[in-house]
Structure 1
Amino acid sequence: MDSAKITPIGKISSPADLGQLVRELRQKQGATQVDLANFAQTGQRFIVELEAGKPTVRLDKVLQVLNILGVDLLAARRT
């Protein structure tokens, strides 16, 4: 991963924050929830629940969705 190419797009502090980010990115790309589910090989229900901020979604599927949306999940130490 080349850190020179990383562009922060927001701080995620809750499942709701993650869901909002996924929804915004999906809509910017002109995809429906069904489209995203198909591309990420998940069910539409998963996308609906992720965008709604459900706190118990599967991390492996979240990572699949973020990958399809062109987003890397990074961790940063608070200063």
Structure 2
Amino acid sequence: MKSVAEIGHLIRAERKAQGLRQDDLAAASGVGLRFIVDLERGKETVQLGKVLMVLATLGCSLQLARPGEGQGA
């Protein structure tokens, strides 16, 4: 993932695949509906802690790699 927009797209796709509405995901994640809307739209100023809670609710995780790792190096 290289942008908040990519994360938002993944979250939207997974939410829909699980048959959840935005308000359902917000409630299950402990965040507000506006946060989910902004996150799915790729708003750059979303709070990382809340993003991680939403990802965990969906059963997703965020992986970080150091430069050169995971790129066939």
Q: Which runs of 5+ in 1 are unaligned?
A: 1-11
Q: How many residues align?
A: 68
Partners of 1:49 and 1:16 lie apart in 2 by: 10
Counterpart pick for 1:35 among 4, 20, 24: 24
Partners of 1:75 and 1:15 lie apart in 2 by: 14
Alignment of 1:7-22 (within 5 A): 12-22=1-11
Counterpart pick for 1:68 among 38, 47, 57: 57
Q: Which runs of 5+ in 2 are unaligned?
A: 69-73
Partners of 2:2 and 2:41 lie apart in 1 by: 15
Aligned to 2:71: none
Counterpart pick for 1:52 among 36, 41, 65: 41
When the two structures are superposed, what TM-score results if normalisation uses the length of structure 2? Answer: 0.89
Runs of 4+ in 1 over 6 A off after TM superposition: none
Q: Could you give the per-residue CA deviations for residues 20-44 of structure 1, whole angstroms, max 9, x where no partner exists?
A: 0000000000000000000001000
Partners of 1:38 and 1:18 lie apart in 2 by: 19
Partners of 1:59 and 1:50 lie apart in 2 by: 10
